[in-house]
Structure 1
C-alpha cells in the first residue's frame, strides 16, 4: 500500500445547464478567449483548501491532470499556481492520460508521498471540453460536460491509500479518439475552413467500446488477482462516466447491486474530471464513506485503461 489520506475535496461544473435525451450536461458558453478552465481550477482548489482549513502555504506539490491544457506553454499547473499561490515556489507539473488523468496523477502523487519527498499535495483535474467538441458529430456532442474537481491528499501512517494501481495502453485504439490539429502534427498556422474539423474532437465510439469490452474486464480480473482481492471486497466502484454504454462493460464484472456509482445521466462525461467529480459527489452524498474500499477505473484516449483500488 502507498499510504495517503484524502484531506478534502471539491468540484464544479459548467455554468449553463443543457438537457439531452440521455441526460443533463453542464457547459460554458463558447468564447474564443476565456479563462473558464482556470476559473474552474481556482474555484475547486480554493474550496478544497477552505474545507481542509489550510492555506496554499500548507501545500508542497501541485499536480494538474487534464486532457486539454489551457495553453501549450507553460504547464497548466503553473498557471493555476499563479492564481492561488504566486510567489510560493511550490513545484507544479501536469499529467495527461486524457479521461483517466486523475487516476494517473493520484498514482504518481502516491508514489512521491510514499518516498517522503512531499507531504501534502493538491491534485486538480478538469476540462473545458465544450470548446473543442464537434457539433456536427452527434455521437459525441451530446456526451460531454465541462467540469473540474480538486483533492488534497497527504502522507499518513494510517492503513489507507492506494492498495493497487495499474495502467495499460493499447495503441491499436490510438486514433479512435483524438484531436489531430493544434500542435506539431497539424500546426495552428495551417488552420483553414476546409480542415477546421481536424482541430475538433473526433471519436469512433463503437470502436472504443469494442476494445474496452475486450480489455477492461481482463485488466480488472488481473488486478483483483494481483492484489489478493475479490469483487466482494470492493464497497463501491467508480468508472469513468463515459457514456450509456458503461453498463455493457460493467456487466462483465459481475457486480453486486449497489456497488456501481453511475452519475452519467446527471452530469455526463466530464473527461478528466469524470472520476474525481463522481468520487467527490459520492462522498458528499454519503454513498461512499471513510473506511470504504473503492475501485476507480476507466478508458481514455490512447487507448489507455486505468485501474486503482483506493482504501479510504
Structure 2
C-alpha cells in the first residue's frame, strides 16, 4: 500500500532499564577505583546492569510498549520496527523477536547497527520510509546490553557502561517535525573504540582451515574518543542546524549521547548553549549506547521538561567511528 509523501512527527516515547543497579562504591570492590575518581572524570554515579537471565528483547519490548501507548496506537498499527543495537540476543538480529513479543503482527522488523550513533541513524532512516510514502507508523528502539561485553578488570571501560532501552514512535504528519540532519562515518578511526571478533584457526580437514571464535571485550582509547567527540559533535550539530534553518539560540534542548559529562559540557560550551538546556541522566544510567538518547528523552518528556513544540538538537557519536545530529520538534 502506498501513501502520499508527508512529514514526520515523534508522537510517543518509552524506556526501560534492568532493576539491579551498581554504584561506584560497589565497583570499587571489583577494580581499583573510587566514587570520586569515576564521578569526577565521567559524571557517572551508578549504572543498571542486566541479570544473567535478562534479555535485550525484554528491555526493548518494555520500552516499545510504553512508546506505542503514549502515541495512542495499537501494536498491530505499527508498519516498521527498527532496532538500533550492537548487542542483540541473536547475532542474526533481535528485531523480529521484539515484533512478536509486542504483538506488532503487521510490522516488518530489522536490526540497525551504528553503536552509540544508532538512534540518530535510525531516526533518519525511519523518516525516509515515511517521507517516501512507504510506511506511516514506525517504531524506533535503541537498546543495548553492553555489560555482556565489558572487561570487568579494566577500570578504564568497566565504569562507563550500563544497560537499557529507549523507544519512540514516528508517524506520518501533515507538518514535518524533523527539521534537519547530518550523518558522518570514518572507518579509519575504528581502532579507537571497538568490540572486535577474536578467532582461532580450526582445521576442518587436511586442506581446509577456518576461523572460529567469539568477540573480545570492548576496547577504547578514551583520550582519542574524547578529542573526536568535542571536535566533531559541535560541527555536525551546527551543520544540522544550518540544514534545518534553525539558530542555536532557538534550540530548547541539547540531547547528546550520554557518554561522559565532560563531553556534554564541552559540546554545550562550544555551541554556547547554557547548561540548563542540556538534558543529562548520565549519573543514573552510565553509557547505554544506542539507548542513551531515547532513554534520556523519555525521562525528560515524562518529567514535564520537554513539551510539545520544543526544538531539540540531538547528537549521537561513537564506535565506527560514527556521528550524526538531528534537529526535531517534539510532538505533532
CA distance in 1, matches of 2:69, 2:269: 39
Aligned residue pairs: how many? 300
CA distance in 1, matches of 2:308, 2:67: 17
For 2:277, which of 240, 253, 259 is the aligned residue? 259
For 2:15, which of 4, 11, 14 is the aligned residue? 11
Residue 101 to residue 112, structure 1, CA distance change in 2 (3 Å): same
- Tell me the residue number matched to 2:169: 152
CA distance in 1, matches of 2:111, 2:142: 10
Equivalent pair of 1:124/1:150 in contact (CA under 8 Å): yes
- Tell me the residue number matched to 1:141: 158
For the aligned residues, what is the CA RMSD? 2.3
Which of the pair has more CA radius of gyration? 2
Question: Offset at 1:44?
Answer: 1.7
Residue 188 to residue 70, structure 1, CA distance change in 2 (3 Å): farther
- Tell me the residue number matched to 1:245: 262
Q: TM-score, normalised by structure 1?
A: 0.89
Question: Offset at 1:71?
Answer: 1.6
- Tell me the residue number matched to 1:270: 288
Q: TM-score, normalised by structure 2?
A: 0.84
For 1:298, which of 288, 292, 316 is the aligned residue? 316
Q: Structure 2: which 5+ residue stretches go unaligned?
A: 25-34, 40-44, 203-209
Question: Offset at 1:248?
Answer: 2.5
Equivalent pair of 1:134/1:201 in contact (CA under 8 Å): yes
Equivalent pair of 1:2/1:163 in contact (CA under 8 Å): no
- Tell me the residue number matched to 2:298: 280
The secondary structure found in structure 1 opposite 2:266 is helix
- Tell me the residue number matched to 2:212: 189
Q: Structure 1: which 5+ residue stretches go unaligned?
A: 192-197
What pairs with 1:1-312 in structure 2 (closer than 5 Å)? 3-20=7-24, 21=35, 22=39, 23-29=45-51, 31=52, 34-73=53-92, 75-85=93-103, 88-157=105-174, 159-181=175-197, 189-190=212-213, 199-246=216-263, 247-312=265-330
Residue 162 to residue 51, structure 1, CA distance change in 2 (3 Å): closer
Equivalent pair of 1:238/1:294 in contact (CA under 8 Å): yes
The secondary structure found in structure 2 opposite 1:174 is helix
